[in-house]
């Protein structure tokens, strides 16, 4: 089923902003997730979420919600590997050479997406600057 003109992703990678939108009940994010063959959560995104949980006042509830989501059979954790690191180096170099650097964690998230052959779902427009990254940037709001 097409979503916003794009075929559903076999491996849908959620970044931190897409996970947060899902938790808020964003219909478009929920539609993407429902149409995906699998949802992939990079350890980098999980780390960003953990940092946010630790800084907030609902850490336990947020960790329980994340653990429940990660336990779903269609959700897969994706670790950083040597191959992910190679993708990171390539993306970092291209962005730096073009004079368009991104935050380090965003480059790692892009590298994990490239490494797993996934399609990134995000609300962060910075990812659109990565030429070979399969991604959909949803509008904020």
For residue 131, give both structure tokens. 């030429």
Q: Check whether 74 has a pLDDT greater than 80.
A: yes
| pTM, to two decimals | 0.92
CA distance 24 to 88: 30
121: enclosing H helix or E strand? strand 119-122
Question: Tens digit of pLDDT for each residue in 97-135?
Answer: 999 989 999 999 999 999 999 999 999 999 999 989 999
**Percent of the chain residues topping a pLDDT of 70:** 94
pLDDT of residue 64: 98
CA distance 73 to 69: 9
Q: 76 CB contacts (<8 Å, ≥6 apart)?
A: 38, 39, 40, 41
Q: 25 CB contacts (<8 Å, ≥6 apart)?
A: none
Question: Tens digit of pLDDT for each residue in 112-121?
Answer: 999 999 999 9
Sorted by where each begins, the domain ranges of the chain are 11-137
| CATH hierarchy code of domain 11-137 | 3.40.50.1010
């Amino acid at each position: 089923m097409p979503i916003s003109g794009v075929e559903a992703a076999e491996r849908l990678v959620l970044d931190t902003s897409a996970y947060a939108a899902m938790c808020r009940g964003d219909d478009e994010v929920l539609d993407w997730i429902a149409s995906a063959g699998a949802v992939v959560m990079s350890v980098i995104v999980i780390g960003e979420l953990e940092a946010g949980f630790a800084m907030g006042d609902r850490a336990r509830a947020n960790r329980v919600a994340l653990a429940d989501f990660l336990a779903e059979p269609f959700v897969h954790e994706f670790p950083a590997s040597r191959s992910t690191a190679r993708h990171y180096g390539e993306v970092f170099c291209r962005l730096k050479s073009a004079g368009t650097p991104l935050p380090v964690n965003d480059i790692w998230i892009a590298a994990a997406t490239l490494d797993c052959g996934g399609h990134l779902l995000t609300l962060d427009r910075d990812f659109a600057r990565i030429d070979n990254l399969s991604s959909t940037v949803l509008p904020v709001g």
